[in-house]
Structure 1
């Protein structure tokens, strides 16, 4: 039965994609608890039967929404690491530059994983998804820092992740007109001071 449920919830279809796309927009813009199933059904242009065929519960949809966001992050980071294979310092710079160039504009309400985590406690899928993607990105940073010969790649990777998180939150809350320069400076200092 669990196998059948998993197959049902992951079957690719246009309706499923519309549901997840509507959830992505609404959950990010308004919050997960604030958006009910009926609103998503209406926005996606599907019936409740179709919704529940793909997502037996709202938590299943939350998981799919964050999985989609997580896959975007993994594709983005993984693509940069692959594009700069053998050039780890350049990869680290590009990871920071992409965040300032592309992502700051897309996360004006803050990090979707932090926002989702704030709405749930314990081992809810939202918190597990946030932990998973943040750990994965931190591990990629640590690998790159190890390649550049950083003397403490584990600590520096954690610090880079904190700087990244702080920059996203600052972008959403502080109206810091120097955010990009401040972020890039802190990022580069953390890398270069340990080499």
Structure 2
């Protein structure tokens, strides 16, 4: 009996996540309500609130899931020669392509960050985690933000990765100049400059 209830709870969780993803991507984060998600998932509001504190909590869960899926793509630079321009350009191109495939979900995260003040720190934490991950294989990223002598270098790493991810997001959303093919070349130059200076 307990296994049945556990499976039923997992099923309702998955239905809520699927319904939210579909609704958010089709109609936008701001226009979708908890009631819309619950109705689409075929669950009651009470069941929704057993799984999530609200719409923002659900968006945070979607971000965490997307970030976990994206991390291997972003960290893949550690598996190639990160000092070679071609490898770095290919890596950044792969990031841009991956974000294009997820452009609808990226738009949801942009809207959620406007609506929920707690959402942006989650995205910033992702960059912190990425610096740590890259630091295991690339000496220039092996920096500790809590050590005064390394703080500036860590901030430079943070800004570099933020710029790559931000421009990739803009390109995926067809926003600004990020779609210009030269953008990848410029970002590759900045990455190589950072690595060489480290």
For 1:24, the equivalent position in structure 2 comes to: 21
CA distance in 1, matches of 2:187, 2:30: 34
For 2:114, the equivalent position in structure 1 comes to: 118
> Do the aligned residues in 1 keep the contact of 2:171 with 2:179 (CA within 8 Å)?
yes
Q: Which string of whole-angstrom CA distances, capped at 9 and with x for unpartnered residues, describes residues 9-63 of structure 1?
A: xx97122012112223333454433210111112223233322222243343233
For 2:4, the equivalent position in structure 1 comes to: none
Tell me: higher relative CO, structure 1 or 2? Use CA pairs within 8 A at least 6 residues apart: 2
Q: Which string of whole-angstrom CA distances, capped at 9 and with x for unpartnered residues, describes residues 107-142 of structure 1?
A: 157465443212223xx2x22322211322244455
For 1:167, the equivalent position in structure 2 comes to: 168
Please say if 1:136 is aligned against 2:137: no
The equivalent position to 1:103 in structure 2, one of 99, 104, 124, is 99
Q: Which string of whole-angstrom CA distances, capped at 9 and with x for unpartnered residues, describes residues 49-88 of structure 1?
A: 322222243343233222222222234435x257x17x44
For 2:71, the equivalent position in structure 1 comes to: 74
C-alpha change, 1:89 and 1:104, in structure 2 (3 Å) is farther
Tell me the SS of whatever aligns to 2:173: helix
Unmatched tracts of structure 2, length 5 or more: 1-7, 143-151
How many residues align structurally?
177
RMSD across aligned positions (CA) = 3.6
CA distance in 1, matches of 2:83, 2:15: 39
Deviation at 1:146, TM superposition (A): 2.5
Please say if 1:127 is aligned against 2:128: no
> Do the aligned residues in 2 keep the contact of 1:113 with 1:129 (CA within 8 Å)?
no
What is the TM-score of this pair, normalised by structure 1? 0.68
CA distance in 2, matches of 1:140, 1:111: 26
For 1:62, the equivalent position in structure 2 comes to: 59
C-alpha change, 1:102 and 1:60, in structure 2 (3 Å) is closer
The equivalent position to 1:44 in structure 2, one of 41, 44, 47, is 41
What is the TM-score of this pair, normalised by structure 2? 0.67
